[in-house]
Structure 1
Amino acid sequence: MQARQKFAALIAGTGLAVAGLLATSPAQAAAPADRPAGDRAPAVTVAPADAPAGARVRASAPTISPAAERVRYVSDGTYTCPAGRLCARVWDPTQGSYKVFDLYYCNTYSLSYWGGGGDGGGYKNSQTNGTVARFYNSSGAVAHSSTAPDIAPSWWSWDPIWKIKNC
């Protein structure tokens, strides 16, 4: 009987230990359905300036798929856009600066983690004159279009934009 009680106690103790480990380990966010599980953006834990002490928010770096021709960071939001490209600028909370994606190849690009607070960013359409870039919302409708040469309005928010077709 003692052996049976010890075995039961061992099983119960192991179960509690495993449950405790699972409860204290960080949760992994699932990749969006249109992105492979291994294609997750780096994430950091940050607290907004006006947040109460101890409050934390998980922030993720903006990404684009398929990959942009070039990705770069600019600290003050000022950037150039080479001829033949649509350049999209978005705030990256994980770096504390703007991330610029140079889109050259004709594609429909899916955006991840491009929304939320602060200066939303902007775009510069330096493609061949007359080339139309389209910006799509979550339902697939065109939310905005840009005919080259063009630049984003003075205030631009990426919140409603889910995809960009640059050509």
Structure 2
Amino acid sequence: MRAKRSLLGIIGVVVSTLTAVLATGPARAAVAPGPRTSGHAHTATAVSPTISPATDVSYRTDDQTFTCGPGNLCLEVWDPTVSKWKIFYLYNCNRYYLSNWHGDGYYLNKQTGSVTSYLYDANGNVLRAFSPPQVGTQNWDPVWSVRNC
């Protein structure tokens, strides 16, 4: 009987811990303020920007161009771990959560139809809404999530 109670206690602790971790939402890394050169943010510890759920990505240097295929919302952010622009191709309709997105970047909306995309802050407030075709610059610091439909 004692082993049964101990096992139930361990399961209770694990469930409580998982609940606390999952309730906090996506993590955002703190960035040490620093000088900006060529529009790229510099951090004390370089961390690659990510998005969840995952999407196709590619990289380019300042002197290269890229194509954003029809049906995509393409987002571009500086990746300090490789010193290149990291491009995320958002095709599937979803709410995407950003991690380690800092500094100025770009968006290119090549979606088809009459879809509206949204950029949200940490509180879920809309920072920007736009429909295709649309291209622009964006400070990614206040953006926590993106909905491409």
TM exceeding 0.5: yes
Letter in 2 for 1:115: H
- Residue number in structure 1 paired with 2:46: 59
Return the TM-score normalized by structure 2: 0.70
Q: How many residues align?
A: 116
Amino-acid identity (%): 43
Shift of 1:92: 0.2
Matches within 5 A, 1:15-164: 33-35=24-26, 57-68=44-55, 70-76=56-62, 78-116=65-103, 120-152=104-136, 155-164=137-146
Secondary structure at the residue paired with 1:81?
coil
Pairwise CA RMSD? 2.6
Secondary structure at the residue paired with 2:45?
strand
CA distance in 1, matches of 2:88, 2:143: 15
Letter in 1 for 2:89: D
- Rg bigger for which structure? 1
CA distance in 2, matches of 1:74, 1:137: 27
Which structure 2 residue ranges, 5 or more long, are not aligned? 1-23, 38-42
Runs of 4+ in 1 over 2 A off after TM superposition: 33-36, 47-50
Secondary structure at the residue paired with 1:159?
coil
CA distance in 1, matches of 2:35, 2:125: 33
Return the TM-score normalized by structure 1: 0.63
CA distance in 1, matches of 2:101, 2:65: 18
CA distance in 1, matches of 2:105, 2:35: 19
